[in-house]
Structure 1
Amino acid sequence: MNETRILSEELWREPHLRIALVTETYSPEINGVAMTLERMVGGLIARGHRVQLIRPRQGRTDDARHDDGFDEVLAHGWKVPRYEGLLFGLPARSLLSRSWSRQRPDLVHVATEGPLGWSAVSAAARLRIPVTSDFHTNFDHYSGHYGLGWLRQPVGAYLRRFHNRTARTFVPTKAMAHALQERGYRRLFVVARGVDTALFRPAARSIELRREWGVGDDDPVVLSVGRLAAEKNLWLTVRAFRAIAERRPTARMVFVGDGPLRAALAAQAPDAIFAGVRTGEELAAHYASADVFLFPSLTETFGNVTLEALASGLAVVAYDCAAAAELVRDGDNGLLADAGDETGFVMQAVRAAGDAQLRARLAGSARALACEQDWEAVNDRFAAELVTVWCEATGATPTTSPSAITSRDG
């Protein structure tokens, strides 16, 4: 919310909306969805919109924040079973209806699909407030990783119904839009993700950190960043590193993040470094001080860590899906394997770790690509489409003041 921006004269002419944004996760929680939403909220405020954020209370000492253009409403939440550290919001239709009847938002944006999100869609529909949604997470794909594969079809049906109740569903890639369209989703709109290239940069490389890891200048460091959870396919990361270590015994594996699989991964990779959760400059240094980034997940809708690794100048090895499918050109700015081809993934990881010249060439192209993924352009596109949805719902034009619509409608 501290994003600054010089607004163009044309942008100032756009209507400034009151936007209620509903989410089950937000900063200071650490995950890709929370980070993305914080960036987008900051972008909306920088463009003159007011944001009311509705989220679950994250702890007993958690207090609602109120800043210029930003207000929070804290709802009740519950821990996600078998997924420590994450919450889902409890149903809150009455709370939302009362709040929005007292101070009506121009538009409701629902970022997550839990009970709180469903309540928000229902309350907005009853009050005839236009509502949009985000598709951030393949929850139906997660079920198989937690012994609940039988839930995949009903969860998929719920998600489709949820999003089809909204005027737009925002997705991060064209491939995801195509896949969801084939599954019966309607009114999809692509808004990509950006990366902070001032934070994630090759210059953050730390000789001191590499010494802590016990590696020399020429020893390859293999990095994984993200939640240590079953849906991230981290067993393949361990398998790939073992193949690398057979050829390069001085290589080192570093995991950044935490989660329910930490103990099991440590048992399988006893020589790996588990750095825990890192943020800000510490996270940037961990990225830049590595050499190869492995990302074998098949459940991502995007995968922000892929873009962060590219910005940090790493040789990225990933499956040809999600962000990697849109951003990585195999052999040019990273290395790809066909989705699900574990042998191919391991071969690409071994190739990257064993060839310093290849890594250097990939790193330069990776950084150049990341510098094109500007958060400002992403936030412009997102904010403009919210205005379009409001205009469609109210019959307004992009230069109409929301207060004028409110007065006209009584």
Structure 2
Amino acid sequence: MAPEDLRIALVSGNYNYVRDGANQALNRLVGFLLRSGCKVRIYSPTVAEPAFPPTGDLVSLPAVAAPGRAEYRVPIGLPARVRRDLEAFDPNIIHIASPDVSAHRAVTWARKRGIPSIASVHTRFETYLAYYHLELFEPAVRATLRRLYRRCDALLVPAESTAAVLRAQRMNRNIAIWSRGVDRAQFNPERRSLEWRRSLGIGDEELVVAFLGRIVMEKGLDVFAAVHDELIARGIAHRVLVIGEGPARPWFEKALPAGLFVGHQEGEDLARALASADVFLNPSITETFGNVTLEAMACAMPVVAAVATGATNLVRDGETGTLAEPGDICALAAAIAAYAADPDLRRRHGEAGLAFAKTQDWDVINGSVLKTYARAIERRERLARIKG
């Protein structure tokens, strides 16, 4: 099937109103699809002042504020005006990017019309519950996800490690890999700036441990802070650099009183801040793909991370960084201590990570999504011919 024949309706819980790795990947995908000749229409909640302009035509979905996280919007369905818009657009494939009410309705809409639906999995939502002491509800959440994903023709996941977890959870048999690329023009070692470090009071020889991302508890902030405390207890001199914003920033600032919080950064400023650190620590277990981890690797920085789906697909233990069991404070601290004691080890692992990052080309990666769309449509058409 030629790209010009594809008409894709993308339904997302967050396309551009709050910036995160998932919606930046979606916007980059839509840009690629449009350049390839596809027709794309996006359905997502909107706000008066979004984090960035949307790529493509965006239709607003009704939504309510997420409980306890008012910056996020939860789509609540497909009202008549949206269904009319869908009918007029006449998609031949539906792509859902978040497991919410609107996604369920979109899959139902597609199934009634014999249109294939694809789900991309960006976050392991069931893992969030532990950070809010709601583990009791994890089986119910997993069952709800399974019901949605098994009604889809295929799943798109960013790494084989995530695919293995979803297969074990019986989410879907047809799982394809949609990895992530990195903008090498933006993220590279040349962005490192000793002058910028000095402006923050960081000595040229001081070890800087970086955090990058939304400052929310599910990013493993408690583990990050505990590793910092363990390094202090071991007498390992270091500075902590926190890049990002989020509702848990007051908690994080209290936990890291000597931390350097530089807030939300974009473009060259973001790349400079990240490249000016020495070690990247990512204790999160909630991501399906560590976008920030790959960006750190593109800056030739060794990564210390938890063994989780967002890291094991990127970090080669003992080659591009160090992996430790989730929540193992001593192991994570020991890895950073090893890099503090051996600059040559930092250099070797950083260079190996950079070499890997150079292989992650966005257009090649997004091309795999086009192929998944085409296969799903062709499979649905073949089944229709057999039944007919």
Contact 1:243–1:350 (CA under 8 A) maintained in structure 2: no
Work out whether residues 93 and 122 of structure 1, in 8 Å CA contact, stay in contact via their aligned partners in 2.
no
* Alpha-carbon contact 1:163-1:169 (below 8 Å) kept: yes
Distance 2:118 2:194 in 1: 46
1:192, CA displacement in angstroms? Answer: 1.1
Deviation at 1:251, TM superposition (A): 2.1
Gaps of 5+ in 1: 1-10, 397-404
Unmatched 5+ stretches in structure 2: none
Aligned residues: 383
- The correspondence for 1:33, drawn from 2, 19, 22, is 22
SS at match of 1:209: helix
Calculate the TM-score normalised by the size of structure 1.
0.88
**Counterpart Cα distance in 2 of 1:121 and 1:356:** 52
Matches within 5 A, 1:233-382: 233-246=220-233, 251-382=238-369
Local SS of the residue matching 1:326: coil
In 1, Cα distance between equivalents of 2:330 and 2:53: 49
Q: Does 1:161 align with 2:147?
A: yes
2:133 is aligned with 1:144: no
Aligned pairs (5 A) from 1:20-59: 20-59=9-48
Give me the whole-angstrom Cα distance separating, in 2, the residues matched to 1:244 and 1:148. 30
Structure-2 separation of matches of 1:282 and 1:166? 40
Aligned CA distance change for structure 1 residues 247 and 43 (closer, same or farther; 3 Å): same
- Contact residue 226 and residue 305 of structure 1 kept, 8 A: yes
Residue in structure 2 matched with residue 4 of structure 1 by the alignment: none
> Does the CA contact (< 8 Å) of 1:244 and 1:353 recur in 2?
no
Counterpart code for 1:47: S
Q: Give the match's secondary structure for 2:355.
A: helix
Which of 45, 49, 67 is the equivalent residue of 1:81?
67
Q: Is this contact kept in 2: 1:237–1:296, CA < 8 A?
A: yes
Among the aligned pairs, what percent are the same residue?
Answer: 33
Q: Structure 1: which amino acid aligns with 2:40?
A: V
Equivalents in 1 of 2:141, 2:111: separation in Å?
22
Report the CA distance between 1:93 and its aligned residue: 5.0
Alpha-carbon RMSD: 2.3
1:6-41: per-residue Cα shift (whole Å, max 9, x none)? xxxxx9x55531111010112252111111111111
- Alignment-derived partner of residue 221 in structure 1: 208
Give the Cα–Cα distance (whole angstroms) in 2 for the partners of residues 39 and 354 of structure 1.
39
- 1:181 corresponds to which of 147, 156, 167: 167
Q: Is the 1:65–1:71 Cα contact (8 Å) retained in structure 2?
A: no
What CA distance in whole angstroms lies between the structure 2 residues aligned with 1:255 and 1:287? 9
1:247 Cα offset (Å) = 5.6
- The AA in structure 1 aligned to 2:204 is D
Describe the shift of the 1:65–1:316 C-alpha distance in structure 2 as closer, same or farther (beyond 3 A): closer
Q: What is the CA distance between 1:216 and its match in structure 2?
A: 1.5
> How far has the Cα of 1:212 moved from its partner?
2.0
Alignment of 1:84-163 (within 5 A): 84-163=70-149
Instruction: Give the whole-Å Cα distance in 1 for the aligned partners of 2:89 and 2:24.
Output: 27
Task: Indicate conservation of the 8 Å contact 1:298/1:340, yes or no.
Answer: no
What secondary structure does 2:288 align onto? coil
Q: How much has 1:297 moved relative to structure 2?
A: 0.8
Q: Distance in 2 between matches of 1:108 and 1:254?
A: 41
**Counterpart amino acid of residue 365 in structure 2:** V
SS of residue paired to 2:69: coil
For residues 30 and 231 of structure 1, the distance between their equivalents in structure 2, rounded to whole angstroms, comes to: 16
Other structure's SS at 1:329 match: coil
How far 1:176 sits from its partner (Å)?
Answer: 1.2
SS in 2 for 1:88: strand
Partner-residue secondary structure (3-state), 2:311:
helix
